[in-house]
Structure 1
């Protein structure tokens, strides 16, 4: 069920409740008005009759004429009754309401109610006693109240209809804005980050639109960075393959060719076996060093065999031997060797890339690496690499593929990657990775 349909149903139900409540109030007020009007008319007629007949003793022809004149009184019916119970004269209105003018029977039943009779004793000049019966006849008053109630109900219905239309238009405008936002989210789902939401007149929707537009800008920027990083990774992969192929050709190919030539030479009777053997051993040692170097570049075996701490210590020793002016320190707990291999290889590569950047760009003479496992709300691995180099402006740290690659490595593990740097104040790289064991 759509939101528009639910809102329309609720508005319609509320409107019907308002009309029902308004109609009930109108009927109740009409009933009160009719009762008050009828009671007042009966009371006034009884007082007037009591006052008129108590002042003068009329003969029979006079009081008949006076009683007949009461037929002009609204809302009342008069009957003259003898002591024996016989009705001598009934005074009614000359013309009643036509069927078209009469209100509906259900309205008469709701509003009319029951009205008691009023009896007034009358004594003529010759001493005859009669009883004048006054019966309420509220039809005229009910007819008037019916007209007023119809006018009130029509006004209430018109106001309710106008309210319904106003609310419906307001919700329709809101729902149209929601439809535009949903369509924009669907475009984001399809990767269409360049399509922007328009400005809305409603403040809340305009805030949502600005937030979504900002999100699409960030997604578009991240998409461009990922594409550039992927392209850079492919280029590095191709360069690495080309370098390995060149080394295999230059080192392994030539060395194996030399060994083969020496082996063939050693087959001759006049060959110097000892010299040939020494040459083959020397070439084999060189090949072992080349293979070991290539294996270390592809994947450090010490990381698999001895763990993360030993691998980083070996890496620091390698850099310290190449750059003796750079002082390197390591603070690492022993339990990091129990981490998942997927995490350890990523941490090792991040540290490796950090050291490469420090040597190439930082112009630092001191760097420290700290790896700890924190036990707070959840167990996390914290890596901190700090140097005292020249640092850089915050905008410049987003241009390097090395930093971007480190960020992607940490985020691939569900972690957080932050860089803190200021010009001439060094750089501090902090990575935090959740641990699930």
Structure 2
């Protein structure tokens, strides 16, 4: 069910409830007003008759004066006044002017709802001729019901037009809102396909404009991340290809030439006049060189010490290696023994991050001092957290440089792949501080 249909149904239902409630209240008030008006008219008529007869008793009225006084009661509203003679003859004194107009008569259902059983008053009077006549006063609320009907029609018309106006106004507002939602949904469908260049327009409604800005910001971040991942993938493929080419070159230059030399020495040693001892020494020397080359290649591919002795010993060996190559650089490390019990996937990634940090510092930072802190702590909630911090006093860098560096991007991806957080704190000429936090299971 669409949002537009749901809103229309709810607005229509609310309008009907308002009309029904307003109609019920109007009918109740009309019934109460008619009853009150009828009671007042009957009491007024009785008081007028009593007063008139009391004045008539003080004088000796003629038959004509007496009838004239009774005829004056015909102007009394909402009542039917009749005279009943002893012979049973009925004389109508009043008549309903509104009731005679059929065009003003309200519907019968309204008369039934508003009308009620009203009391009938009888009063015994004596005519100047001494005849005892019964004065019948009965309620005739039709004119009052007609007036109430006209007032109710005006009230209902007002409510109907106000409800219609409200319905149209709300419908226009929601129609505008639904159009804005449709624009957002269409844009999200485009973004869902991976087209992060899609941007939402500016909306006049503040809430929708905030949503549009948030989505535009999100697509901008996603597009930037997509471009970074694409660049990082291309860079990784290029590095992988360069590494394969370098390994192939080393295998050709070192292993190929050394094996060829060993083969030549072995062939030479097969001759009777050959100097076997000299050939043997040459073969041994070449084999030692090969072992050094193979060990170096294996360390570049995957340090065996990491599996055999653990992360702490591997990092200490890495720092000794860099200290030997760059004695002017002061390297210090604080590492807990607990890191040797980490999972293999975490160990290798942390080692590669430290290795990349040291490589960047030596190549670009021009630093004099580097400190490495690696410890296992507890965050809020008693969950274990591995925290790595590599800090140098080099020349630092700008945010633009941080975003464009493939080494930093690669480190961020390694930490993120472990569910951790990677933070870089740096300012030009103020060094760089790299902090990585990895949750431990």
TM-score grouping bracket, smaller chain normalisation: over 0.9
Return the alpha-carbon distance in structure 1 between the equivalents of residues 112 and 62 of structure 2: 41
CA contact (8 A) 1:50 1:120 kept: no
Give the counterpart of 1:109 among 93, 112, 117: 112
1:39 aligns with 2:28: no
Return the alpha-carbon distance in structure 1 between the equivalents of residues 429 and 129 of structure 2: 134
Give the counterpart of 1:167 among 149, 170, 193: 170
Distance apart, 1:187 and its partner CA: 2.1
CA contact (8 A) 2:66 2:128 kept: no
Question: Residues 23-73 of structure 1: CA distance to partner in whole angstroms, max 9, x if unpaired?
Answer: 122212322332233223222222222222322255667645654664554
Match of 1:11 in 2: 11
Return the alpha-carbon distance in structure 2 between the equivalents of residues 87 and 188 of structure 1: 94
1:233 aligns with 2:236: yes
Match of 1:341 in 2: 344
1:405 aligns with 2:407: no
Return the alpha-carbon distance in structure 2 between the equivalents of residues 360 and 125 of structure 1: 137
Q: How large is the Cα RMSD of the aligned pairs?
A: 2.0
Return the alpha-carbon distance in structure 1 between the equivalents of residues 420 and 364 of structure 2: 26
**Structure 2 counterparts to residues 171-182 of structure 1, below 5 A:** 171-182=174-185
Return the alpha-carbon distance in structure 2 between the equivalents of residues 15 and 115 of structure 1: 36
Return the alpha-carbon distance in structure 1 between the equivalents of residues 100 and 197 of structure 2: 76
Return the alpha-carbon distance in structure 1 between the equivalents of residues 74 and 431 of structure 2: 113
CA contact (8 A) 1:419 1:430 kept: yes
Match of 2:49 in 1: 49
SS at structure 2 position matched to 1:417: strand
CA contact (8 A) 1:79 1:87 kept: no
CA contact (8 A) 2:330 2:368 kept: yes
Give the counterpart of 1:326 among 323, 326, 329: 329
Distance apart, 1:100 and its partner CA: 4.7
Distance apart, 1:136 and its partner CA: 0.8
Greater shift, 308-317 or 260-269, is seen at 260-269
Aligned residues: 435
Match of 2:374 in 1: 371
Distance apart, 1:104 and its partner CA: 1.6
- Aligned pair in 2 of structure 1 residues 268, 38: CA closer, same or farther (>3 Å)? same
Question: Unpaired runs of 5+ in structure 1?
Answer: none
Return the alpha-carbon distance in structure 1 between the equivalents of residues 187 and 385 of structure 2: 37
SS at structure 2 position matched to 1:114: coil
Distance apart, 1:22 and its partner CA: 1.5
Greater shift, 354-363 or 117-126, is seen at 117-126
TM-score, normalization: structure 2?
0.93
Return the alpha-carbon distance in structure 1 between the equivalents of residues 141 and 229 of structure 2: 88
Question: Unpaired runs of 5+ in structure 2?
Answer: none
SS at structure 2 position matched to 1:127: coil
SS at structure 2 position matched to 1:325: coil
Return the alpha-carbon distance in structure 1 between the equivalents of residues 25 and 293 of structure 2: 101
Return the alpha-carbon distance in structure 2 between the equivalents of residues 169 and 211 of structure 1: 26
Return the alpha-carbon distance in structure 1 between the equivalents of residues 65 and 91 of structure 2: 14
Return the alpha-carbon distance in structure 2 between the equivalents of residues 123 and 343 of structure 1: 121
Match of 1:120 in 2: 123
Match of 2:81 in 1: 78
Give the counterpart of 1:194 among 184, 197, 200: 197
Distance apart, 1:174 and its partner CA: 1.3
1:27 aligns with 2:23: no
Match of 1:93 in 2: 95
Return the alpha-carbon distance in structure 2 between the equivalents of residues 304 and 412 of structure 1: 21
CA contact (8 A) 1:58 1:124 kept: no
SS at structure 1 position matched to 2:104: coil
TM-score, normalization: structure 1?
0.94
Give the counterpart of 1:141 among 128, 141, 144: 144
Match of 1:295 in 2: 298
Return the alpha-carbon distance in structure 2 between the equivalents of residues 50 and 356 of structure 1: 121
Distance apart, 1:126 and its partner CA: 3.5
Give the counterpart of 1:265 among 253, 259, 268: 268
SS at structure 1 position matched to 2:91: strand
